[in-house]
Homo-oligomer: A and B are copies of this chain.
Amino acid sequence: MPCSQGSVESLALYYVVCAARFKGSGRVAKLVVLIDTPDRPGLLSEITGLLHRLGANLVTSLGYAVEDYARLLLIVDSPLEPDELKERIEEQLGEDAEVKAAPLGPEGAELLAEFLHDKPGLVNLLEVYLEPPDLLDALLRLPRDVRRRLYRVLSAQSLGGIMLLADEATLREIAESVDLDHLAKAIATLDPDEAVDVLQKLPEKLRRQLLGRLPEELRREALRLLRYPPDTAGGIMTTSIPVLRAGDTVQQALQLLRRGDHDVRDTIIVVDEEGHLVGLVTVDQLLRASPSEKLEKLAVRPRATVEPEVDREEVARLMLRYDINRLPVVDREGRFLGIVTVEDVADVLAEEAAEDIALLGGLETPRERYLKASIFDLFKSRLPWLLLIYAIESVTANIIKGYEDVIQRIAILAAFIPLVMDTGGNVGSQASSMIVRALALGEISERSRHDIVYVFLKELATATLIGSTLALIGFGFAMVLSGGNFMLSLSVALTLLIVTILADIIGATLPIIARRLGADPAAVSGPFVTTIVDISVALVYMGLATHLVLKAG
C-alpha cells in the first residue's frame, strides 16, 4: 500500500489518498479507533499493514503530535469486534500504546470528541467521513466553547445535517455562533420539508431573516410548507416527488425519474388540469408500459388520502394499519399537496414513543436533548408535576389527620397504608397502560360504544378477581402482623378489594376519556391514577377501620 508511509505530521495528506482507495465487499461495520502512542517513523505503515492483514478497511485516519506522542484517530471498516481490534493493535504497538475502539454511534462519538477536543480544526478533515448524527453526538460531548468554535468551521453540508437533528436549544446555540449567510447556506442543503422542520424550531425573527437569504425556489416551497404545524400530515409530508399531468406520457415520467433529484423515486403522482389527485404510478408500472402510453391509463387510485390538518399520529396509525408506504395529502377539494412516506412514519413513531415514555413518567416531553438540558431546565420541567401530586397528597394527609385519634388507639393501622395505596396505584397503572396500548394499536376504538362497554365490564370482572385474591392474601398477612386482630385484617382486606376495583376502572377509563377529548391517553396514565387512588384509599381504609375496629373493640 503506497499510502502507508510517513509519521503523523503527513497524515492530513495521507488519509485522503487511502480513503480514495477504499473498496470492499461483504460486511460493513465502521469503528472509531483512538490511539495514543510514542510517535516513530513507519508507525502508520505498521498500523495500516496490520489492518490490511486483519481484512479491515481504513476509511480515514488522521492525527497530531503531542510532544513525542502521536494521537491517531482511525475510522475503520472492520470485520472484527471493537475489543478484538483494540487488542490486536495494542499487541502490534507495544504496551506504551493506549488504544480505544468503539462502533460509530453514541460510543464512538465520545472518542471523536476526545480527539477533537485539542485540535477542533481537524473537524474539516473528518466531517466528510462522518454522518451528521455522529458528528452532532461528538459535538454535544465537547465543552460549550469548543463546540461553538466548531459550528463556525463546519461545511454548510455538515452544518445543515446537524441542524436537522438538533433540538431547539442546540439550534439557538448554532444560530448564535454562525453568521446568517452560512446558516442560510446550511439550510439550503436540505430538502424543503427538512428545511421547514429546522425553520419551525427557530425564533420568528431569525426565521424571517433566513427565509430572505434562501434560494428563490426553496423559499417559495418553504413558505408554503410553513403553513402546516409540525405535528400534522402537512407538517411531515414531503413535496419532493415527481408530479405529472394525466395527459403526460410514460416517456415523460421516466425522463423525470431519470434525473433522480426527488426524495421519492419509486412513485410518481398524476394530477388533472386543476391539480386534483388522479392517482399514483409506480416505477415498475412505467417500465412495463409502452413509452407513448398516457399516465391516466396507468394511474392507480390510492387506498386513502388525508388532509394536511390531520394529526401525524393518526396518519402513522392509518399507514401502519393498511401497510401504506406512500400516503397522498390533499386539500378539501382534493388537490394534491404532498406525500407522507413510511420513512416519515418511522420518525413519527420513534418521537411519539419517546413522548409516551416521558408522559407515563409524569414529564412533559423535554424540548432539548438530555445532554444539553441545563439542571435548571430539568428542574423547571419536573417540579410542576411534582407540586400537583403534592397538592393532591396533602389532601390525603388531611384526611388521615382527621383520624388521628383512631391511629393513636390502633397504631398498627398505619403499617398497612403504604401496602394498600401502592397496590391501588399499581393496579391502576396496569389497567391504564393496557388500555393505552390497545388504543395505540387500534385494537379498540374510543368511539366504539361496543368497545367502551366491553372494556368496562371486562375490567370490572378482572379487577374483582384480582381484588379478591389480593384481599385474601392481605387478610392473612394482616392477621399475622396485627397479632390476630380480625376486624383490622377485615378492613385491610375490604379496602384492598374496593380499591383494586376502583383503581382498575379509573385506570382503564381515563385513557379512553382522554382520547375522546383529543388528549394523549398516556398523559393521564401512571402517576395521575396513583394520586386519585390514594385519596380514595385514605377515605375507604380509615373509614372502614374506624367503623369495624372501634365499633368492635
Most buried by B among A360, A398, A427, A534: A360
The answer, among B433, B481, B530, for a CB contact under 8 Å with A360, is B433
A423 at interface by CB-CB < 8 Å: yes
- Does the CB pair B346–A434 fall under 8 Å? no
- With known contacts A353-B353, A419-B394, A426-B389, A288–B260 Cβ distance under 8 A: yes
A422 to nearest B CB, angstroms?
5
Q: A307-B27, A346-B320, A354-B441 are in contact. Are A398 and B481 (CB under 8 A)?
A: yes
CA distance A394 to B416 in the complex (A): 8
Whether B448 and A106, one on each chain, are in contact in the complex, defined by CB atoms closer than 8 angstroms, is yes
Given known contacts A361-B360, A477-B394, is B466 in contact with A304 (CB within 8 Å)? Answer: no
Q: Which of A254, A342, A350, A440 has the most CB of B within 10 A?
A: A350
CB contact under 8 A between A375 and B458, given known A28-B303, A422-B530: yes
Q: Is the interface of A mostly helix, strand, loop or mixed?
A: helix
Question: What residues of chain B lie closer than 8 Å to A322, measured between beta carbons?
Answer: 131, 133
On whether the beta carbons of A526 and B429 are closer than 8 Å, the reply is: yes
Bound-state CA distance A278–B25 (Å) is 5
Q: What's the Cα separation between A319 and B287 when bound, in Å?
A: 29
The residue of chain B having its C-beta at the shortest distance from the C-beta of A102 within the complex is: B447
Q: What does the 1/0 interface line of A377-411 toward B look like (CB < 8 Å)?
A: 01100110111011001101110110011011001
A5 at the interface (CB under 8 A from B): no
CA distance A301 to B319 in the complex (A): 30
Interface footprint category on A: 35 or more
Does residue A333 face the partner (Cβ distance < 8 Å to B)?
A: yes
Q: How far is the CA of A413 from the CA of B397 in the complex (A)?
A: 10
Can you tell how many copies of this chain the complex includes? 2
Given that A357-B360, A386-B466 are contacting pairs, would A254 and B530 also be in contact in the complex, using a CB cutoff of 8 Å? no
| Chain B proximity of A384: nearest CB distance (Å) | 11
A283 within 8 A of B: yes
Distance (Å) between the CB of A138 and the closest chain B CB?
A: 11
Inter-chain CA distance A26–B412, complex, in Å, is 71
User: Given that A278-B25, A353-B353, A400-B414 are contacting pairs, would A393 and B405 also be in contact in the complex, using a CB cutoff of 8 Å?
Assistant: no
Q: Is the CB of B131 within 8 A of A303?
A: yes
Residue of chain B at shortest CB distance from A404: B411
Q: Is A276 an interface residue (CB 8 A)?
A: yes
Q: Which residues of B contact A415 (CB under 8 A)?
A: 397-398, 400-401, 404
Task: Check A53 for interface membership: any CB of B closer than 8 A.
Answer: no
- Is A122 on the interface with B (CB-CB < 8 A)? no
A333-351 residues with Cβ-Cβ distance < 8 A to B are 333-335, 342-343, 345-347, 349-350
Taking a contact as CB atoms under 8 Å apart, the answer to whether B258 and A379 are in contact is no
CB-CB < 8 A to A353: which residues of B? 349, 352-353, 356, 440
A361 touches B26 (CB 8 A): no
Are A350 and B441 neighbours in the complex by a CB distance under 8 Å?
A: yes
A445 lies within 8 A of chain B by Cβ: yes
Residues of B with C-beta under 8 A to A356? 353, 356-357
Q: Which residue of B lies closest to A328 (CB)?
A: B28
Contact between B28 and A397, CB atoms less than 8 A apart: no
- Chain B residues with CB below 8 A from A291, complex form: none
| Chain B residues, CB < 8 A from A435 | 370
Given contacts A304-B29, A360-B360, A412 and B418 within 8 Å (CB-CB): no
Provide a sorted-by-A list of 7 A–B residue pairs whose CB atoms are within 8 angstroms: A25-B279, A27-B332, A345-B346, A354-B441, A361-B436, A404-B411, A426-B530
Q: 5 tightest CB-CB pairs across the interface, nearest first? A: A26-B334, A361-B433, A260-B284, A106-B445, A266-B266
Known: A29-B304, A354-B440. 7 other contacts (CB 8 A): A29-B305, A106-B443, A107-B448, A260-B287, A319-B346, A357-B433, A362-B429
